[in-house]
Structures are given as structure tokens and as C-alpha cells.
Structure 1
Amino acid sequence: MIHRDPPRDAARDLYRRSGGRKPGGPTPPRGEEAGTVKAITSLANPVVKELRGLHLKKERAESGLFLAEGLKLVTDALEEGWPIRTLVHAGRVKDQPLVRRAVDTAKARGALVLETSDEVLTKICRRDNPQMVVAAFAQKIGRLADLMRPEGVWVALEGIKDPGNLGTIVRTVDSVGAKGVILLGDCTDPFALEAVRATMGSLFHVPLFAASLEEFVAWKAKTGIRCWGTHLKGAVDYRTVDWPETCVLMMGNEQSGLPEAHVAACDGIVKIPMAGRADSLNLAVATAVTLYEIRRARLAL
């Protein structure tokens, strides 16, 4: 099945509901005061309901927020300056130095801070062993047309559907020193909880952009950046390419790879050799293998 690009307005939806709105900062939850610490014990608290709602794509789309679970993710987001709306922590960890630092930072930025029980956190996280710190942050996705002087290696993903794959690719982009990820067409939500978890914090360091294929082609023409795609029908071994310092690696979705229209937008098509009986690699694995080859000459221990 080939996933075609949605109409241009749909392709920009991620941009419009995140960084494209350029908010001054998240609005505090209704009926609550920003920059304060409140204790809550009720599972029916409206803030608990709002945070639980962020597990749903519809609620994330309407609010422009997403949920980060765990002290590491929350700390990474705060250190990178992501706008925070609400921070929730278990009362039994409030005296831990890193938790206190996160609480103080959130308060200083006008967020609502809630101290609560493990039971309430279980409700928010929808899991039996919840993280002791969770927070709601504003989504940030850029408009590709605003990236007029791209440098380094970029990854363009066409119609990726698995949030775990997307999160792993974002983490790999960060690890290899590439510059960012471009989401083409109807991709999975990068702010879905599974995707956020899979990034292991790299979401907060790796810029994301959204575009339709038409917008990508126009951007490529204006910037002069070169693009290579991977395809099972490719005739060029990815290890034989003289990869430039600045380029785009385009990867197709998990089911059908790159559609012909996207292949046509590439300057070259490469293939990863397969020696065994498997006919393909997992998308995140194939992306990692190719990225490390592209960056090999510029990586050192």
C-alpha cells in the first residue's frame, strides 16, 4: 500500500499546532495558578484528566502539548528550553536534588507544579509502574521553507507509521551528529508517547520539520541540497557513494518503501546489500546503517 501525500494544509498540520504558532509559552490549566506547587490526591482532578488525554492523538493535536515521562526526559527538555505547562512528581521523591531542580526550573518558567501520589501518577501514565516525574511540554516542529541554509546531514522520512521506529531514528540522528529530521506526508505523530520514549531525550536536541513532497522539492531546488534515497531496486551500493558533508537521506515507510514520486525527487538511489534470506531491514536499522556510512569519515572516538 502506498501512502500518498495529504493535501498541503494537512502536511502543515504538525507545524501549525506546534512551533508554527510561536506561542509565548503554554497556557496554565484552567482554574490553576502558574508558577505554584499544589498537592493533589484526587483521581478526578481536571489536570489529571488533561494530562491523561495527552495519550490521545486528538488531544495532542488540539492542545499542542505532549507528555514526557521520567526525570531524564523532563530534565533534558527543561535544559533545552522547551516550554513547559505542567510538571507532576510523586511526593516521596520531592527531596531528591534533581527533582528539586526540575521543580524550581518549572516554577520559574510559570508552569504549574503538582505533588501527588503514586496512584495518581499511575492514572496519568496509564501503567502499573509509573515514572515518578512527568510533564506536559509544548510541541515544536518547524516549517521546512524557513530552513534556507541547511548544513550537515538530514533525514527525510516518507509516511513513517511506527512511533517506535520514528523515535529510534531521531535518537540515531542525534548519535551520529546529523542535523535533523524532515517528516514528509502522513507520518506518525512524533509526540506520541511511544515515539518520545524511543528518542531517549534526543527529541529535545534534534530539530523536526514537516512538509509535503511538493514543499520538499521546492525547498531542495531553492537550497541546492542533494538527496539520496534507499530502495530495494537501487543498483548502487551505499558504501560506494562519495557522500557530501551536506545532504539529505530519504527513507520510505515500513510497508512499501519510497513511492516513485519520491524516488524521482532524489538525486541518487542506493541499496544496502543483503546476504541472507531476509529481503529487507527494519526501517530504523536501515536508516542507522546508512547514516553511519554517510558520517563515517567525520566520526572519531
Structure 2
Amino acid sequence: MTRPPRDLYRRGADRPAAPRAAAPAPSTAPAREVTSLTNPVVKDLRALHLKKEREASGLFLAEGLKLVTDALDEGWPIRTLVHATRVKDQPLVVRAVAAAKARGALVLEVSDEVLVKICRRDNPQMVVAAFVQKIARLADLAAPSGVWVALEGVKDPGNLGTIIRTVDSVGAAGVILIGDTTDPFALEAVRATMGSLFHVPIAAATLEEFSAWTAAHRLPVWGTHLKGAVDYRSVAWPETCVVLMGNEQSGLPEAYVAVCDGLVKIPMAGKADSLNLAVATAVMLYEVRRRALGV
């Protein structure tokens, strides 16, 4: 599976990815105890619930020990780790704290009240961390292989997170976000991935960039469309291709249909005329990847 480069750029930026900065020096300082709701770091972490703050900082929040551990195990750059005082002696928390400190992250030990403030939830997770966003540009990817999922204008963060999780589950190559999409680093999207965000390559592109990239690599693009004349189960799916899915409201626009090599449809037997985007993507991916999965 082709993985995107580790160099990053912020979504929407019109510049090359900056060279990777030197890793922060390991921290030997003990965790800072914080009980004040007005602490500047607490305010900065809370602000990451806002898209404009995520875009400005290039950071995002991951809630829960599993997600934080997955990110650390995958080598994602971490800036701050926060944990509740009452879980500081749990072995997995101790391990996460050690890993964060080894990468130069700030570690805060806080009260439950502070976690409620950071997470904006009455029942917050006991571990929260701020990580650096990773999104590649198509131009930076090596010659693609495997099955990629391209999403046009997906709006619901829960749908996007679920799709990323499905891509991970079937062993697909990655996700391409085209046009104006929801933020994959919104907290709802991150939660819905259940940690798959840290395993699945994500790229962002305009329609023009996507069309040029698929043409340059001779990648067949199959779109899902209600007017598709071909049942998705009747296609001899190649090992390397792109499955292009439209948005939740209106499906694929005509400009996107024009870049497809073929259109397929998922038959409907009942009164419903369409499926939820995340469900439709899962149905498609398990069929496209059926041979590779040995089903």
C-alpha cells in the first residue's frame, strides 16, 4: 500500500509542504498540575473545537486513551497530552505519558473539572491530546496502488469518520477529499474513525488536481450514480482504482461524472431511493475488495 509522505501542509494552503521540522527534544519535566479553568493551555486546547483554530494552529484533538495510544504508536507528532489526576498511575496512561514526553510534548495532569472544560462534555475521556494534522497533496504521493476512495463535498463529519474507518477495515489505500468537504480533524470525525484516522492516508485536492492525477497514473475512476447503468456487483474490479462517491445531498455533480471511466449503481428494492453515504461507501468497498479479502 502506498503511503503519503510525512511532510505536511495545512488544508487549504496554496504552497508546498514545508520540510519536516526537527523533532522536539525529549522532556524530563514532571507533568504540570492544572486546576484552573482559565489556564492558557486549557483555553488553547478548548479552542481546537473550532475549525478556524484548527486551521490556524495545524493541530487537532484526540479524545480517549485508545485514540491517543494509536496516534502515538503510529508516530504522529504530539504537542500536548492531558490526563486526569485519578488515572495517572494506570499502566497504559503511564506508557502514553512516557511516549509523549519522549517526543517533547507538554504533559498536563488535571482535575475532572478541567477535562470537562477541554472536552465540552459532562462525561469526558480521561486522556486527551493535541496532535499535528497530516494531509498530503496528490502531487506528493508516489505511484498509487490499491483502491482509493474519493469523496466529493462530504459534509457530515460522522460520515467521513465512518468512511475512514471502513477504508482501514477493508485494507484500501486511502481517502481523497475533493473540493469543499467537512474537516477530517473535527472531533466528531476523529471519534467516528475509532483510531483509523492514524492508519489511513488522507489527501486533499481540487477536481482539476484529482483529474490530472488519475490521468497521469492511468487510474480508472468509477463513480456511483443513480443513473449508473451497471450494477456494482457486475464489474470486474481492478486491483488499483478509485471509487468516487458523491455528497450526501445531491450525489455526484456532472463535472465529477465527466472524469469517471464508468458509473455504477447500488440497486434499491424497497421504498428508499438511496443509502446513507457511509453505508453506500462500505457496500462498494467490500465488493471492490472482495477478491483481496478472500470472500
TM range (shorter): over 0.9
1:217 aligns with 2:211: yes
Aligned to 1:133: 127
1:20 to 9, 17, 28: 17
- How far, CA to CA, are the matches of 2:153 and 2:70 in structure 1? 28
TM-score by length of 1: 0.91
Alignment of 1:109-120 (within 5 A): 109-120=103-114
SS in 2 for 1:20: coil
After TM superposition, give the deviation of residue 300 of structure 1 in Å: 3.5
State the aligned residue count.
Answer: 286
- How far, CA to CA, are the matches of 1:75 and 1:15 in structure 2? 28
- How far, CA to CA, are the matches of 2:16 and 2:156 in structure 1? 23
- How far, CA to CA, are the matches of 2:181 and 2:172 in structure 1? 20
How big is the alpha-carbon RMSD for the aligned residues of Structure 1 and Structure 2? 2.0
- How far, CA to CA, are the matches of 1:285 and 1:95 in structure 2? 40
- How far, CA to CA, are the matches of 1:264 and 1:281 in structure 2? 23
Aligned to 1:55: 49
- How far, CA to CA, are the matches of 1:27 and 1:270 in structure 2? 49
After TM superposition, give the deviation of residue 13 of structure 1 in Å: 5.5
After TM superposition, give the deviation of residue 283 of structure 1 in Å: 0.3
TM-score by length of 2: 0.93
- How far, CA to CA, are the matches of 2:287 and 2:102 in structure 1? 43
- How far, CA to CA, are the matches of 2:203 and 2:179 in structure 1? 11
Aligned to 1:276: 270
- Structure 2: stretches of 5+ with no match in the other structure: 1-8
Deviations 1:196-240 (A, max 9, x none): 000000000000000000001110111111110000111100000
SS in 1 for 2:222: strand
Aligned to 1:298: 292
Aligned to 2:147: 153
- How far, CA to CA, are the matches of 2:90 and 2:249 in structure 1? 45
- How far, CA to CA, are the matches of 2:22 and 2:180 in structure 1? 27
- How far, CA to CA, are the matches of 1:281 and 1:169 in structure 2? 14
1:45 aligns with 2:39: yes
After TM superposition, give the deviation of residue 267 of structure 1 in Å: 0.4
1:173 aligns with 2:170: no
1:244 to 222, 238, 242: 238
Aligned to 1:186: 180
After TM superposition, give the deviation of residue 34 of structure 1 in Å: 5.5
Amino acid at match of 1:235: A
Aligned to 2:255: 261
Deviations 1:68-116 (A, max 9, x none): 0000000000000000000000011011000000000000100000001
Aligned to 2:68: 74
Amino acid at match of 1:188: T
Change (3 A) 1:25 1:127: farther
Aligned to 1:124: 118
After TM superposition, give the deviation of residue 15 of structure 1 in Å: 6.1
Amino acid at match of 2:251: G
- How far, CA to CA, are the matches of 1:118 and 1:236 in structure 2? 55
SS in 2 for 1:258: coil
After TM superposition, give the deviation of residue 179 of structure 1 in Å: 0.7
- Structure 1: stretches of 5+ with no match in the other structure: 1-11
